[in-house]
Amino acid sequence: MASSRLDWAAVTDLRSAASAAFALSRADLERLVRIPSVSADPKADDHVRASAEAVAGLARDAGAASVQLLSVPGGAPAVVAHWPAPEGQPTVLLYAHHDVQPTGDLDDWTSPPFEPAERGGRLFGREAGVIAHITALRVFGGRPPVGVTLFVEGEEEIGSPTFLPFLEKHRDDLAADVIVVADSTNWTIDTPALTTSLRGLVDCAVTVSVLDHSVHSGMFGGPVLDALTSLCRLVATLHDDNGDVAVPGLVERKADEIDYPEARFRAEAGVLDGVELAGTGSIGDRLWTKPAISVLGMDTTRTSEAANVLVHTAKAKISMRLAPGQDPDEAMAALKAHLEANAPFGARVTVIDGARGWPCELDTSAPAYDAARKAFTEAFGQAPVEVGLGGSIPFIAEFAEVFPSAVVLVTGVEDPDSRAHGVDESLHLGQFEKVCLAETLLLAGLGA
């Protein structure tokens, strides 16, 4: 399609054009999957740049009037491309990222993570969501019905540490009326979702010390609890007997009613038979609008190297997800105070602050949301479900801070079986084609 102005009567034409564009985009998706752009690995810097250059090439092929690779000091390269707005039309910023997570143990993968493989209608490999944007732009032959800025960063998988400085430096290049963040999940492969709230995040490293050096467990064990046992007792205070977070003073509330049966959650999460779910309230409450605490790892003696000694010090990384409305600084202070106040038997507890990310709750009353609902309904044959997200995308709050008048839409390219960030990550190809069509229809709707 080359017309610069389309309306909803053109849905049939757009559907055909999007289907034709998807065939080319499937090959481009596989090409991006083959680039091991792991932003957490300093040795992969060349691959991260290669993925940025590949995305820049795709933007040029999709008719961008200008394409730049930009960065700020210490940051990874980002792609910023522009399709100018027709007279009187809004500008839409399409966000994605071109970096990916580390693979973990390669032996755990059914097929190599950077060698795309199709099985059962799914494409396995580390995912590259930018292709949804590229497909929609191709449909319009370089002349979308609205202005488009494509912004594809290269450090989302490490928490976007230079995101806010990047926004502030390139504010004029990125200014938009609507921001579409294609970085969430759909409700099922057949039912789309618009994410309307996200939890925030704080994490910290807590070290427990009980001795100035390790000593013989038989000679000194009993009067002194080793540091690892003490650390275990400390982290056990983070939850009450129901499994709810026990840190006082944190924000929590009820989630909007949604049909999310416990059996479905157990199946999607892979909960083992006999393991009870923790916490109180609905599944939505526990996933989206209440805090959650996890111990992500511990530094202590490996079991294969353990001797009969009392470990003198042990360390854990603790992550806490925050409900919408929670100030991260206040949450970090509450977590730190709880850990220090619950030091077992007077153990020395040291807490080092880590990452912080704001939660957010999006206003869904803007006309852009009506256009999104219509676009996804047309593409999927079902109206989108409005859901929260238990994960954190802190830069969405930063978008809102820098561009307070912009409407932010968070859409999904994944589904509950995608195993995002995990072993055997995959993309359901049938659903992904619908996502590409939905974004095409969204641009048309915003232009109408």
Tokens at 100, concatenated:
């990916």
CATH of the domain at 133: 3.40.630.10
Q: Are residues 368 and 423 in the same domain?
A: yes
269 occurs within a structural domain: no
What pLDDT is stored for residue 333 in this prediction? 98
Count of alpha carbons within 13 angstroms of residue 32, beta-carbon side: 27
DSSP β-ladder status, 91-97 and 147-153: parallel
For 395, residues 6+ apart whose C-beta sits below 8 A from its C-beta are 156, 160, 163, 164
Domain edge (last residue) among 357, 382, 405: 357
Read off the CATH number of the domain in which 328 is found. 3.30.70.360
Q: 307 and 285 in one domain? A: yes
Q: In the prediction, which pLDDT does 2 show?
A: 37
Domain boundary among the residues 357, 389, 410 is at 357
Residue 320 lies in a domain: yes
How far apart CA 278 and CA 242 sit, in angstroms, is 6
* The token pair that represents 445 in the structure block: 């709707």
353 counts as catalytic: no
31 and 136 assigned to the same domain:
yes
Cα 27 from Cα 187, distance rounded (Å): 26
The domain boundary residue, chosen from 291, 323, 357: 357
Same domain (yes/no): 341, 404: no
Q: What is the structure's pLDDT at 10?
A: 72
Q: How many CB atoms lie within 10 A of CB 74?
A: 9
pLDDT at res. 227: 97
Residue 386 lies in a domain: yes
Around Cβ 212, how many Cβ atoms within 10 Å?
8
Question: Could you tell me the residue range of the domain that residue 169 belongs to?
Answer: 8-198+359-447
Q: Is residue 265 part of a domain?
A: no
| 136 and 222 co-located in one domain | no
Q: What angle do CA 28, 32, 35 make, to 5 degrees?
A: 150
Pick the closest to residue 410 from 108, 197, 117 (CA basis): 197
Average pLDDT per block of 10 residues along the chain, 448 residues long: 47 86 91 95 96 97 97 96 96 96 93 96 85 94 95 93 94 96 93 95 97 94 96 98 97 93 94 97 96 96 92 97 96 98 97 93 94 95 94 88 94 91 93 95 92
In DSSP notation, 276-303 reads PPPSSS-HHIIIIIS-EEEEEEEES--G
pLDDT at 341: 98
* Residue 260: inside a domain: no
The single residue listed with the structure tokens 């795309």 is 116
Please report whether residue 430 resides in a domain: yes
Please check whether residues 223 and 181 belong to one and the same domain: no
Shared domain check, 372 and 353 = no
Domain presence at residue 389: yes
Tell whether 131 and 157 lie within a shared domain: yes
Q: Is 99 a catalytic residue?
A: yes
The answer to whether the pTM exceeds 0.85 is: yes
- Predicted pLDDT of residue 391: 86
How many domains does the structure of the chain reveal?
2
User: Do 188 and 286 sit in the same domain of this protein?
Assistant: no
Handedness of CA 191, 287, 151, 180 (dihedral sign): positive
Same domain? For 370 and 332 the reply is no
* Same domain (yes/no): 129, 230: no
Q: Indicate which residue of 28, 99, 157, 378 is catalytic.
A: 99
Same domain, yes or no: 235 and 310: yes
- Look at residue 421 in the predicted model and tell me its pLDDT: 85
Q: Is the dihedral of CA 170, 172, 176, 177 positive or negative?
A: positive
In a domain, 266, yes or no: no
Active-site residue (options: 153, 155, 156, 433): 156
Q: What is the per-residue pLDDT for 368?
A: 96
Quote the pLDDT of residue 443: 96
Closest of 82, 70, 27, 78 to residue 52, by C-alpha: 78
